[in-house]
Structures are given as structure tokens and as C-alpha cells.
């Protein structure tokens, strides 16, 4: 009876949708408004993690400088829409511009490295992330482009089609950003899903599994890898633009290596190449550090002083998570069935 099945499926989606829509209200009432803001960040990181997942999870290229593309997007927005240079271009132009610019940087960085072994790419991207930060830090002289270590303040809020996300009487702004980010995450999710099941997506996965075999099957590996790289980068750029508009200020400090590592950790923890796993990882790893803050309060209550600063613990946990997941569950906590079986057969072959 197909009608009932469609009805049940429809019901499932209606429940999920209504949960997602009411989530900020529920969170606000139950835990507090601060957590709605954290939810916003969870969605933002989902976009970034989905972007990086294209590079690492689908195409198997270890990109450790992802935050550089995030920074490109954020600074594009900040420079073109703030009193810093007196420019106030509309968001409809800046966001796509930042996205394209980040994608372009991705191609620039990928060109010399993608024909080499994968480890080189890792270290070059690592260096690139650091270089971008050095430039952001120092480009305040002789011409003040990035504002140096202070960064850029008073960035214009996101205004889409005449709708200002910071000032209107409809809803508190964190709610509105929640819905905007939810919308963007949905679009990213949709693109990733469609890509995964497309010719390009299959080519990426083929390259991840065996590059030589992929080449033998007629895939232009270099171009397809470049495409993955720049595509991931452009999602980073989009996330950066949204971040700048949401936050209202940017500074080089927000774009350090640890940010890249954190996004990497989200992907690894959730399951490389699995779209839902990646979102799971992004949400868990955004909420976890916030929850850890209570650890400081607990320590204060129990011992009268703070032994371990929860903010320091955060990175330690990320590092440990990377090691433990790779050692114990290399396919991630929430892997795709295919990926899981691949890792299991790999182990069996080893045992033989």
C-alpha cells in the first residue's frame, strides 16, 4: 500500500522539520538564550565540515589549511562591508564573491601539490593556513588592508533582500541567524548529497580508493581532485562570509591552525565521507566544549579552585579523539555502511 508508506515517510519528515524549526525556542526556554547562539555556530560548523568533507571524505585529500579559505571568505566580507575602507557593498554580491575567491585560492594551492603524494598536500596546506594568518596579521602596513592583529570591527550585518538579520522586531537576531544558517546548511547538504551520487562524486570516491585504477578508468584525476579541492574551499568561503556577518568582527586569531584541526576532528569523529556523520560530528564537537565549561564550575565547587582550565582541555580532547577514533574505529562513530565494510575488509586482509 504505497500511499500509507508515503504518508509515513512524510510524517517522519514533518516531525523532523517541526523539531528543527522549534529547536531554538525549546533551547531558549529550557537552557537559555546563550545556547541558541551555540546552535547557530553548530550549523555554521556543519557547513564548513560538509565543505571539508568533500575534500577529505570524498576525494581523500588531507587538507589541513581549511581555515585559510574560511578566512578568505570572512575577510572578503569584512573588507567590502564595513567602515574600515568605507565600502558597503550588498551581501548578495559579497557572499558569492567570497565563495568564488576562496575557490580560486583552492585551485592556486592545489595546482602545484595535487600531482604529488597525498602527504605533501597535507603539509603544504598546513603551511598555507599559517601563511594566510601571517599575512592577515601584517597587512596593516604600509596600506591598512586587514587591520592587522586588531582585525576589522563594525562589520555590516547580513541584509538579504532588504531583510536585516540584526535589527527588526520579528524575532531575536540569534533566532533569525539560526534559520538563515539552517537554510544554508540545507542547501549545502543538498548539494553534497547530489554530488555524492553523481558522476563527479563517484570519480572522487574512486580516486580516494585507488588513484591509479581511477586513472585507468579514464578519470582525469588531476582536474577532478582540483575540483574537489576548490569546491571544498568555496564552501569554506561561504561559511567565512556568514561568520563575518554574524559575528560583526574578524581578527586573525579566529583563523588559527586549531580551527582547521577542529573541523578535521568533526569529520573524522563523525565518519569521513558520510554526510550525516559529518553533521553529527560538527554538532557534537560544537556543543561539547560549551558543555565542558560546566566542568570549571564543578571544579570550583568541589575543590574551591580550577585545576584544569576547561578551555585548555578542549584541544586535548580533540587530539585524543583523533588518535582514538583512528585506532579503534577508523570509519568514525557514525559511518556509512559501505565505508565501514571497507575498513573491515582491510583489517581482514591485514590479518591474513
Partner 1 sequence: MEVLLQQCINGLVLGSIYAIVALGYTLVYGILRLINFAHGEVVMLGAMIGLSVMQKLINLQWSVLPIIFISLLIAMIGCMTIGYLIERIAYRRLRHAPNLAPLITAIGVSIVLQNIAMMIWGKEFVVFPPIIPINYYSIHEATINSLQIGIICLSIIMMLGLRYLIQATRLGNAMRATAQNTEVAALMGININHIISFTFILGSALAAVAGLMVAAYYGLAHYDMGFILGLKAFTAAVLGGIGNLTGAMLGGLLLGIIESIGAGYLGDLTGGILGSNYQDVFAFFVLITVLIFKPSGLLGQASGERP
Q: Which residues bind partner 1 (CB under 8 A)?
A: 56, 60, 62, 64, 112-113, 115-120, 122-124, 126-128, 130-131, 134-135, 138, 142, 211-212, 257-258, 261, 264, 268, 272, 308, 312, 315-316, 318-323, 326-327, 330, 343, 346, 350
* Smallest distance, partner 1 to C-beta of residue 310, A: 12
Of 36 and 278, which CB lies nearer to partner 1 in the complex structure? 278
Angle at 173 between CA 160 and CA 234, to 5 degrees: 50
Name beta bridge partners: 250. Answer: 152
Answer left, alpha or beta for residue 154, where phi above 0 means left and psi between -120 and 50 means alpha: left
Looking at beta carbons only, is 211 or 290 nearer to partner 1? 211
By the 8 A CB rule, do 70 and 236 touch?
yes
Q: Which is nearer to partner 1, 197 or 345 (CB)?
A: 345
> How near is the Cβ of 80 to partner 1 at its closest, in Å?
22
In terms of DSSP bridges, do strands 81-82 and 159-160 run parallel, antiparallel, or are they unpaired? unpaired
Q: How far is the CB of 123 from partner 1 (least distance, A)?
A: 6
- Is 78 or 267 the residue whose CB approaches partner 1 more closely? 267
**Shortest distance, position 9 Cβ to partner 1, whole Å:** 35
| Secondary structure element (H or E) that encloses residue 164, with its range | strand 163-164
> For residues 70 and 259, what is the distance between their CA atoms, to the nearest angstrom?
10
Give the residue among 36, 39, 48, 38 at the shortest CA–CA distance from 262: 48
Minimum gap (Å) between residue 178 Cβ and partner 1? 30
Distance CA 91, CA 180 (A): 13
For residues 249 and 343, which CB has a smaller minimum distance to partner 1 in the complex? 343
Amino acid at each position: 500500500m504505497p500511499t500509507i508508506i508515503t504518508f509515513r515517510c512524510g510524517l517522519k519528515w514533518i516531525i523532523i522539520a517541526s523539531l528543527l524549526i522549534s529547536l531554538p525556542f525549546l533551547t531558549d526556554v529550557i537552557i537559555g538564550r546563550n545556547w541558541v547562539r551555540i546552535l547557530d555556530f553548530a550549523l555554521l560548523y556543519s557547513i564548513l565540515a560538509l565543505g571539508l568533507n568533500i575534500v577529505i571524505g570524498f576525494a581523500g585529500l588531507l587538507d589541513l589549511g581549511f581555515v585559510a579559505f574560511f578566512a578568505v571568505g570572512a575577510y572578503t566580507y569584512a573588507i567590502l562591508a564595513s567602515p574600515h575602507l568605507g565600502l558597503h557593498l550588498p551581501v548578495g554580491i559579497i557572499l558569492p564573491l567570497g565563495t568564488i575567491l576562496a575557490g580560486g585560492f583552492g585551485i592556486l594551492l592545489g595546482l602545484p601539490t595535487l600531482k604529488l603524494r597525498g602527504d605533501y598536500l597535507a603539509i603544504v596546506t598546513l603551511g598555507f593556513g599559517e601563511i594566510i594568518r601571517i599575512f592577515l596579521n601584517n597587512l596593516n602596513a604600509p596600506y591598512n588592508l586587514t587591520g592587522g592583529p586588531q582585525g576589522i570591527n563594525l562589520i555590516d550585518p547580513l541584509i538579504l533582500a532588504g531583510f536585516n538579520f540584526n535589527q527588526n522586531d520579528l524575532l531575536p537576531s540569534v533566532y533569525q541567524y539560526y534559520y538563515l544558517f539552517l537554510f544554508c546548511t540545507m542547501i549545502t547538504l543538498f548539494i553534497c548529497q547530489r554530488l555524492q551520487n553523481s558522476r563527479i562524486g563517484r570519480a572522487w570516491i574512486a580516486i580516494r580508493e585507488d588513484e591509479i585504477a581511477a586513472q585507468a578508468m579514464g578519470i582525469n584525476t588531476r582536474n577532478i581532485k582540483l575540483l574537489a579541492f576548490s569546491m571544498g574551499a568555496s564552501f569554506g568561503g561561504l561559511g567565512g562570509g556568514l561568520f563575518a556577518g554574524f559575528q560583526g568582527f574578524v581578527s586573525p586569531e579566529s583563523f588559527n591552525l586549531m580551527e582547521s584541526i577542529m573541523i578535521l576532528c568533526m569529520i573524522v569523529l563523525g565518519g569521513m565521507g558520510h554526510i550525516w556523520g559529518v553533521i553529527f560530528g560538527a554538532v557534537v564537537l560544537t556543543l561539547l566544549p560549551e558543555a565542558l565549561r560546566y566542568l570549571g564550575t564543578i571544579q570550583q565547587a568541589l575543590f574551591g579552585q580550577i585545576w584544569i582550565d576547561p578551555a585548555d582541555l578542549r584541544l586535548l580532547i580533540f587530539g585524543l579523539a583523533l588518535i582514538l577514533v583512528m585506532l579503534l574505529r577508523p570509519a568514525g562513530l557514525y559511518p556509512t555502511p559501505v565505508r565501514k565494510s571497507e575498513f573491515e575488509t582491510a583489517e581482514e586482509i591485514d590479518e591474513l
